[in-house]
Amino acid sequence: MHIADGIIPNLWCGAAHGASWTAMYWLGRRVETEEVVRLGMLASACFVISLIHFPLGGTSVHLGLYGLAGILAGRRAFPVIFAALLFQTILFQHGGLVSLGLNALNMGTGALFAAALWRSDIGAEAVRAFLCGFAGVLIPALMIAVEFAFTGYGKGFYFMAALYTGAAVLEGILTMAIVGFLRRSRPAILGTAA
């Protein structure tokens, strides 16, 4: 789901970098000292889970925990995901440095949507947790499909986004299980999002 360098026009990537760095500033400012370790651990979890790939429909996908980042970090999920994507780019060439801003906007939007959904308190907590995990994957997949369609790569990427529905369901189930575990063992963690 990472966009590599040279696929999307550099002008778009430059604008996305500007938007991403602005979001990093506004959403990451005034971080409290006690938040730093939690946010670092969350970025590490997002980074590590992305290394586990599984085949799906002729391609491979990986989980990202973007919905869980939205639940646990709130608006700070964007800087968390940006940090994880930066290390994925540098160490494993997932995406590229030119397209990093665009990738961060795509994944970060899913996490921020999940954060808003989590704070809404609509419906049962387990259902909300599932939907956060689901949206954290599907929203970035749809955004990437739209970006590729607008840049002339065709509409086949909508099929790829549809394939990510399976990954979104899996991530929703995983997010629901993690939230259930945290509710039983450390409920205060679920109430600390900025």
Tokens of residue 142, six digits: 């749809």
The string of pLDDT tens digits covering residues 52-111 is 877 776 677 788 899 999 999 999 999 999 999 999 999 988 788 999 999 999 999 999
In order of their start, the domains of the chain are 10-191 (1.10.1760.20)
Closest CA to 190 of 95, 72, 26, 105: 72
Which H or E element spans position 46?
Answer: helix 33-49
The string of pLDDT tens digits covering residues 134-192 is 999 999 988 988 888 888 876 667 777 777 888 899 999 999 999 999 999 988 888 75
